[in-house]
Each structure stands twice: as C-alpha cells, then as structure tokens.
Amino acid sequence: MTEYIYSLLFAASMGLAWQLPGTKVASLLGFIAAFSLVVSIRQARKPYFAAYLAGFAVQTPGFYWLIGTISNFGGFTLIPSLVLFLLFVAISATQFLIIVFLWKNLPKWTDTLSIQTAIAVALSEIFSIRIFPWAFAHTQLGFHQFSQIADIAGTQLVSFLLVATCELIAKILIFRKVKPAYFFVLIFFGLAVFYGQNRIEHFSNLKNETVKVALVQANISIEEKHNIKLFKRNTEEYIKLTNKISGNNLFVVWPESVITDWIFEGTEHTNQDRRLSYLNNNRAMLVGALTYRDQETFFNSAVAVNSDGSIQRPYHKQILMPFGEYTPLGKTFPFLKELNATAGDFSEGKDVKVFTYPKFKDLDVAPLICYEDIAPSLSRKAARAGAKLLVNITNDAWFGNTHAPYQHHLIASFRSIENRRALVRSTNSGLTAIVDPLGRTLSQIKPFSSGVLIQEVPLLKELSIYTKFLGDLPFKLLILLPACTFLIRRFK
C-alpha cells in the first residue's frame, strides 16, 4: 500500500488547493500535487490503478457540493443525488487513466527532456470527458507571474509547465537522475515568470478607455427563485437596488434569469411590452431573462437594453445545464423527461453575440450565461468577434454555502488572462466580482448578501497571442505524438 502514498498525497494537496482558490497557498499545493502525481505514476507497479485512485480520491472532496446542486437543480432526493455524484466522480476520474495511457505512448525523447508527464496531463485536459473543466493550471492563479503565460496557449500551457517543472524535481530528488537536457525545463520556467512580470507591468501601465459598471446582487434564495408567487417581488428587489444607484452614466448588469416573465425574443423596445417599463430608465443595461421564439422554443437569455429603451436581439445560452435546463436524450426518449419532471426544456443558442452600446465609447460586450465563462472557447470567440468586455451573469445559489462559487470564479478568472479582457460577474447570490485583464479580482460582493458593486473597468482592444492565433491548437496537435507512437509500436 505504501506505493500509493503519493496518489493519496496528490489527492490531499490538490483537494485542499481547491478549497483555497486563488491563493498563494493553493499555488504551492498545486506544485506539491503535480510532484506527487509524477512520482505516483512513475514508481507504481500498477500505474493505471495508482492514477485512478488519485483521480477518484481528489474528485470527491473537490466537488462534494455537487450532491446538493444535483438535488436542488435536478429535483432529485438524496440517494439518487449520491448515485449521480459517484457516477460523476467515477467518470471524471477516467482522466487519470488517460494520463497514464498517453504517458506510456509518448516517444522516449519526451522523457529525456522531462516533459513526458507534462504532455500527458495537458492533453488529458483537452480530450477527457469532464463536466467541469478543472485544470492543474487553476491552482496557479495566486502565482500571478506564472499564470500570465495563459495568454499564449491557454491554461494547458500553465498546466504543462507546472507538471514539467515538478517532473524535473521528482527525477532529481526521488529517482536520482540528472541530465543536462532536464534544465531546458528550468530555463523555460524562468522565461515564463519573466514574461509574466513583463505582462503585469505592461497592462498595469496601459492607458485605455474605461466604463463604470454597476453589478446588482439581490441575494434571492433558491426557494424564493422557484416560488411563482414571488416572481414579481424578486424582480422588484433588483429594481429597488438599481434605483438607489446615483447617476445614469454607467452600465448596469443584472444576473441570470432575473426577468421571469417570458419575453418574446423579437421585442425591440421596452414600450412594446408593458411588463418591461421599469427598464426604460435612461440607463444602459444587460439583464438575464427568459425568452421565447414560439410555443415550442424557449431560451435562457441575456437582453441588452440601450439607454433610450431600445432592445437588441438577445443572446441565448449555448451550454445548458443537464438535468436542470434540459433532460439529456429527452427528445429521443420522452420517458426520461417524466423521470426528471422538474427539469426545464430550454433550447440552446447557436453562437456568441457582441452587444454595442451607443452611449459609451468602445463598450462592446459579450455575455456569458451561468458556467459558460468556464469554457475557454466561448470567451475566445467573443474576443475575436470584437468584445472588449466579458460579462458573466449567473445564479450560483444552487451551490449553497460551499466553496463552489469561489471555484467557479477561479476558473472564470483565467478567461481574463487568456484574452486580456476584463470580466465582470453579476450573480444572484454571489460571487459578484470584477476581474481585471491580469486575472486579479479587484472587488467583490460576498456570497449571500445583497448590494451593488460599482467600479471603473478597462476596455482593452489588443488581442493576445492565445486569442488571435493559437488558442489550444498547439496542444491539440500534440496528440499526434502518442497517436503515432501507439500505432508504430502496435504494427512494428
């Protein structure tokens, strides 16, 4: 059993890092976790078992809050929620089986350069089946100089260099191997930190347009949110908080699905629907609303309202929450909808959208609804489409009083680094916050409290290397290494 100690050390350190998101302690724990995983895989007689044990053990404390979320969001009782949670853990842990498979099928020169495990980990973060795309890189947000390299090739580059550095250390300290080629990794790491410091200084001193935003958080509980008798009162809470804001020269954001009246997606002005008269307040706004196209097509949407009351065509959420906003395979097998009767029947949107507000210079806004801000591709598409500000509207009350809102915020913060765009997050119950283009949280409203967060945010124009050119393409191409090695060995 002693050979699996490092698997358990990995789970303990990574699991603890996820309870301390965005801190320097989490960054240190991330290095310990990567080091432990490298040693576990390299020394275990059964590396697949060692890796799966590590994966299963880390998912359980890392995503414990899913039990309550499944129950609240899907309407399941405790036992089915536990079963679904364990199924989630079992499936998510297969990422670590993929790591070992890739590790075993990489060419020998990757071991010589001390990047074998690093490549396997980075590739697993792209090609694994995961509901929540957590990455080794996410532990490094508190190490600001290091995490800035995400603007070159995304979080995979941070994960790659993190694991490569730990692989080098493990070879020297545990396996007593020292080769000149290993120090290629140290040089790369040093350059990464130097690059990160340069980026921090560059964007800290950059002169650019700004906009004053007002993020409204009314702290409506899940029970109140679902109580049809309280729909009107819930919206009135947001109206009251908004009316307390002084001045009109700011951009107001309401969270996901604040407007629970079903609004026709073709509505062009607040005057066309008397239920929206409260939005005709001489302010530029982005609000979460439920919209419809016809009697069979419903959306979870973000609606842009100009200061003159005109309404732009809404953005429809593209990544829907399974079992909550739709039932997987429900259209093919209708009986599944009956088993999950409390789930919605929303349709998904088809593309990103950038809203332009004439009242402000350079205020080109891309909305991201709920956990769409943890999907790197959507934010990248939005920035490439001209967005200068990323806006996440969400309702994280599902998570309850857990670490989940902070974990969500942690992952989302990397979208700012990757694309060099400020990210503002307006949530129903927290964590409402403002993130600068360096991934630093400038201000926030604590979860389960009400208030308005007002601050100037930068509107950057320049595109990062990640946004304009690379994305995650370099690491997708790296899949050719294990694929070719596997085929050569198989048919040799």
What's the Rg (C-alpha) of the chain? 23
**196 and 226 fall within a common domain:** no
Q: Tell me if 217 sits within 8 A of 426, measured CB to CB.
A: yes
- pLDDT at residue 1 above 70? no
**Residue 113: predicted pLDDT:** 93
The pairing of beta strand 209-217 with beta strand 451-459: antiparallel
Whole-number Å distance between alpha carbons of 405 and 85: 18
Q: Are residues 75 and 41 both part of a single domain?
A: yes
Q: What is the mean pLDDT of residues 95-101?
A: 96
Neighbours of 37 (CB within 10 A): 31
pLDDT in tens, 148-166: 999 999 999 999 999 999 9
Q: What is the CATH number of the domain that holds 269?
A: 3.60.110.10
Residue 456 in any domain: the answer is: yes
The backbone torsions φ and ψ at residue 292, rounded to the nearest 5 degrees and listed phi first, read -140, 155
pLDDT value of residue 341? 64
In a domain, 399, yes or no: yes
Where does residue 247 rank: exposed (0-12), middle (13-18), buried (19+ CB within 10 A)?
exposed
In order of 225, 381, 399, 411, 430, the CA distances from 407 in angstroms are 23, 23, 11, 6, 12
315 close to 351: Cβ distance less than 8 angstroms = no
CB 376 within 8 A of CB 418: yes
CA 467 to chain centre: 16
Q: Could you tell me whether strands 364-369 and 389-394 are parallel, antiparallel, or unpaired per DSSP bridges?
A: parallel
Q: Which of 145-149, 333-337, 427-431, 475-479 has the highest mean pLDDT?
A: 145-149
Residue 128 dihedral angles phi and psi, to the nearest 5° = -85, 155
Instruction: Establish if 142 belongs to a structural domain.
Output: yes
The whole domain housing 273 covers 209-460
Judge whether 43 and 6 are in contact, CB under 8 Å: yes
The yes-or-no verdict on residue 189 having pLDDT over 70 is yes
| Residue 253 identity (one-letter amino acid) | V
Q: What is the pLDDT of residues 282-299, one digit of tens each?
A: 899 999 999 999 998 999
List, for residues 410-439, the tens digit of each pLDDT value.
999 999 999 999 999 999 998 999 999 999
Residues 197 and 220 in one domain: no
The answer on 119 and 56 residing in a single domain is yes
State how far the Cα of 70 lies from the Cα of 72, in Å rounded to an integer.
6
Mean pLDDT over residues 311-323, rounded?
Answer: 91
Which pLDDT belongs to residue 13?
96
Give the mean model confidence (pLDDT) for residues 325-346. Answer: 72
pLDDT range class, residue 228, cuts 50, 70, 90: confident
Give the model's pLDDT for residue 335: 66
Is 377 a member of any domain?
yes
Q: In this structure, is residue 36 part of a structural domain?
A: yes
Distance of CA 489 to the CA centre of its chain: 38
In this predicted structure, which of 232-236, 283-287, 372-376, 395-399 has the lowest mean pLDDT?
A: 395-399
Residues 48 and 66 in one domain: yes
For residues 48 and 205, what is the distance between their CA atoms, to the nearest angstrom?
48
Q: Residue 65: what pLDDT? A: 84
d(CA 262, CA 294): 11
**Contact by Cβ (8 Å): 40, 51:** yes
**Span 26-51, average pLDDT:** 95
Q: Is 466 part of any domain? A: no
Looking at the structure of the chain, the number of domains it has is 2
Reading the block at residue 251, the tokens are 């951009």
269 belongs to a structural domain: yes
pLDDT band at 74 (very low <50, low <70, confident <90, very high): low
Tallying the residues shown for the chain, one arrives at: 492
3-state SS record for the chain: CHHHHHHHHHHHHHHHHHHCCCCHHHHHHHHHHHHHHHHHHHHCCCHHHHHHHHHHHHHHHHCCCHHHHHHHHHCCCHHHHHHHHHHHHHHHCHHHHHHHHHHHCCCHHHHHCCCHHHHHHHHHHHHCCCCCCCCHHHHHCCCHHHHCCHHHHHHHHHHHHHHHHHHHHHHHHCCCCCCHHHHHHHHHHHHHHHHHHHHHHHHHCCCCEEEEEEEEECCCCHHHHHCHHHHHHHHHHHHHHHHCCCCCCCEEECCCCCEEEEEECCCCEHHHCHHHHHHCCCCEEEEEEEEEEECCEEEEEEEEECCCCEECCCEECCCCCECCCECCCCCCCCHHHHHCCCCCCCCCCCCCCCEECCCCCCCEEEEEEHHHHHCHHHHHHHHHCCCCEEEEEECHHHHCCCCHHHHHHHHHHHHHHHHCCEEEEEECCCCEEEECCCCCEEEEECCCCCEEEEEEEEECCCCCHHHHHHCCHHHHHCCHHHHHHHHHHHHC
Among 320, 448, 302, 441, which Cα is nearest to 382's? 302
Pick the more confident residue, 203 or 489.
203
Cis bond upstream, residue 230 (ω within 30): no
Residue (of 456, 413, 459) closest to 203 by Cα position: 459
Specify whether 120 is located in the same domain as 222. no
Q: Are strands 315-316 and 297-305 parallel, antiparallel or unpaired?
A: antiparallel
pLDDT at 132: 77
330 and 478 share a domain?
no
252 and 198: one domain? no
Q: Assess whether 192 and 319 both reside in one domain.
A: no
Is the pLDDT confidence value at 73 over 80?
no
Residue 468, pLDDT > 70, answer yes
Tokens representing 135?
């990455």
Q: How confident is the model at residue 80 (pLDDT cuts 50, 70, 90)?
A: confident
In-domain check, residue 313? yes
**One domain for residues 366 and 434:** yes
What is the chain's mean pLDDT, rounded?
91
Q: In the prediction, which pLDDT does 436 show?
A: 97
Q: What is the pLDDT of residue 357?
A: 95
Most confident range (mean pLDDT) of 41-45, 56-60, 414-418 is 414-418
Q: Is the predicted pLDDT of residue 399 greater than 90, yes or no?
A: no
**Same-domain status, 452 and 375:** yes
- Number of neighbours of residue 48 by Cβ within 10 angstroms: 15
In this prediction, residues 396-413 reach a mean pLDDT of 88
End-to-end CA distance of the chain: 36
Statement to judge: residues 295 and 355 lie in one domain: yes
Task: Quick: pLDDT tens for 320-333.
Answer: 887 777 777 777 77
List, in order, residues 6 or more apart from 260 with CB less than 8 Å away.
231, 234, 235, 290
Which pLDDT score is estimated for 328? 77
**Cβ(269)–Cβ(291) below 8 Å:** no
